[in-house]
Amino acid sequence: MVSTFMHLFVAMATVPSPVTSISPPKSKFNEKISRFETLNPPQNPLSLLPKCTSLKELKQIQAFTIKTHLQNDLNFLTKFINFCTKSPTFTSMEYAHKLFDNISQPDVVLFNTMARGYSRSNTPIQAIPLFSQLLSFGFLPDDYTFPSVLKACSSAKALEEGKQIHCLVIKLGLNHNIYICPSLISMYTECNDVDSARRVFDKMLDPCVISYNAIITGYAKCSRPNEALSLFRELQVKSLKPTDVTMLSVLSCCALLGALDLGKWMHEYVKKNGLDKYIKVSTALIDMYAKCGSLEDAIFVFENMSIRDTPGWSAMIVAYATHGKGYKAIETFEEMRKAGVQPDEITFLGLLYACSHNGLVDEGWRFFSSMSDKYSIIPGIKHFGCMVDLLGRTGNLDEAYKFIDELPIKPTPILWRTLLAACSSHGDVELGKRVIERIFELDDSHGGDYVILSNLCARAGGWEDVDFLRKLMNDRGVAKVPGCSSIEVDNVVHEFFSGDGVNTGSTSLHKALDELMKELKMVGYVPDTSLVFHAEMGEAEKEISLRYHSEKLAIAYGLLNTPPGSTIRVVKNLRVCGDCHSAAKHISQIFDRQIILRDVQRFHHFRNGKCSCGDFW
């Protein structure tokens, strides 16, 4: 097995050049070495290591060992390697590897140290040929070797290599090891294979909290919150005590589901178990409350944080932005600056998002420019996307097209899709056609692209283009993503799909919705059948199609199953349509209810017949 395994990695192996003699540069640290040489026996230069603060100074100490013929002393080399791997960089790991290759008979501990360093560096893949080298020396990996190498596979997204290491784990009888199994689970989830991670977990004889954390985190990262929450309940049944890592993932799942009641229960659980002392948990609570539609609770958590770091401030800024409070987001940023806290990429993402959803073009350009000019932060693809969205929403379509076309990086389909949505909002058919050509050059498998342009052409009366796009979708096997909305009632999340309501167990929901639409019409609601782009449909059919949109089904379910006057919270997987937006405003007025609807872009707070977005979304 060892020879076979080594063969799999031999092509990846790199052999660093041997260590050469180094002339110590002149510096204050060098003066210390000179004094040390005069006043102390040359056999003990290691006492200088605690004063060493950089790789440059470490090289000076090593130069001193070369001068005193101690450069091959195992004790010295081990200490030097430990220093290089504590805070690994490309340069320090390269130097550590040269030192490592100068050791004629390295032991497993040194291999583990090197692997751990690589796993935390920017070149984690280098741990794999090192592992092959360990096997070629005839050593058996131990409990510390596998976690480091598997972490390296996780960081490098090296699934195939991770699977081969898993095979060796099984061969050595370590597949139930409490240190190795969590690393295997994390490796699979980081490589987007959460089902394999679950198989590892299920085969554990007695999983500990760390193993539960690994699989719960995996499900949360893969947007499978229900499985994660089920495992959290299982953990509680076993009387295992969750950690701050557990709660970060669980709160993330509540946010994904938009399950506010469950999130509040989790908040109480956090306080009861003293986990609210962790800044990251408080930040996760802000994010959870914001994504569940309760901005007030997010503000409460933020204002009661004893220490606010950059992620905490950023979470609050993003929360204000997604709830349409653009000016408040900017005001919070100014408070953050006064508090002396440095912003990061997420901070500016929230600020740009706030500007785009409030039409603040000048402010948006100012923040975008300050990222690199003032804070030395390189904008990422999401920041570019916010700028395209800002320009597109405000009607600056040609400027947005030029912005994408002149980016210093290759544009992604998402950037062009953002502009395509803006073309649809402003009815620019010709630019929309140009944009979709650019999208298809990169990806022609996304059903939403065809639908947006098809609807845009239909509104302009271009039915030939509509027929062509629908045929193109069929020929390419592209499917439209169905609209789905969810609502939490009595700690149970109910999902509804457009045109469907049968998951309630009867047709009572359809009947209630029919009656609701009649009431809305009496107060001025008129179904916008122009949003149904099927020429073969009559007006009555179009109206029925609109009536059973997923948002309306979820809101109707909320009206039937929640106390009068209580807030209805709905989460949708797509952008809310104009007709559902209009209907929600009327429902909020007739039934004196606040409706909070989270779509794929932002929150809409409906109250007294008005929406917080000001019909700008």
- Residue 201, pLDDT > 80, answer yes
* pLDDT at residue 62, rounded to an integer: 75
How far apart (Å, rounded) are the C-alpha atoms in residues 134 and 247? 38
The answer to whether residues 255 and 287 touch, using CB atoms and an 8 Å cutoff, is yes
Average pLDDT, the chain: 87
- The residue with greater pLDDT, 510 or 279, is 279
Q: How confident is the model at residue 237 (pLDDT cuts 50, 70, 90)?
A: very high
pLDDT tens for residues 157-168? Answer: 999 999 999 999
Give the pLDDT of residue 95. Answer: 87
Q: Which of 30-34, 91-95, 207-211 has maximum average pLDDT? A: 207-211
Q: How far apart are CA 575 and CA 556, in angstroms?
A: 19
Which residue, 333, 386, 334, 324, is CA-closest to 358?
Answer: 324
Angle subtended at Cα 580 by Cα 575 and Cα 584, rounded to the nearest 5 degrees: 115
What pLDDT does residue 45 have?
67
Nearest to 287 by CA among 332, 336, 252, 261: 252
Q: What is the DSSP string of 107-157?
A: -HHHHHHHHHHHHTSS-GGGHHHHHHHHHHTTPPP-TTHHHHHHHHHHHHT
Q: With a cut of 80, say whether residue 2 has pLDDT above it.
A: no
Mean pLDDT of 238-250: 95
Confidence category of residue 516, pLDDT binned at 50, 70, 90: very high
Least confidently predicted of 18-27, 232-241, 249-258: 18-27
406-454 per-position pLDDT tens digit: 999 999 999 999 999 999 989 999 999 999 999 999 999 999 899 899 8
Which range is least confidently modeled, 29-43, 46-60, 312-326, 445-459?
29-43
Distance (Å, whole) CA 352 – CA 407? 17
Determine the average pLDDT of the residues in 2-9: 38
Please give the average per-residue pLDDT across 304-310, as a whole number: 95
Indicate if the pLDDT at residue 32 is higher than 70: no
Element holding 486 (H helix, E strand): strand 484-489
What pLDDT does 117 receive?
93
Q: Residue 159 is inside which H or E element, if any?
A: helix 159-171
* Two tokens, residue 538: 């009559």
Cβ neighbors of 120 (< 8 A, separation 6 or more) are: 85, 88, 151
Distance, in Å, from the CA atom of 69 to the CA atom of 287, rounded to the nearest integer, reads: 58
Read off the pLDDT of each residue in 166-175 and give the average, rounded to a whole number.
92
The closest alpha carbon to 5, from 117, 192, 149, belongs to: 149
Least confident segment among 70-79, 109-118, 309-318, 340-349: 70-79
Q: What is the pLDDT of residue 340?
A: 96
453: CB partners within 8 A, 6+ apart: 420, 424, 432, 433, 436, 465, 469
Is the pLDDT assigned to residue 112 strictly greater than 50? yes
| Residue type, position 519, single letter | E
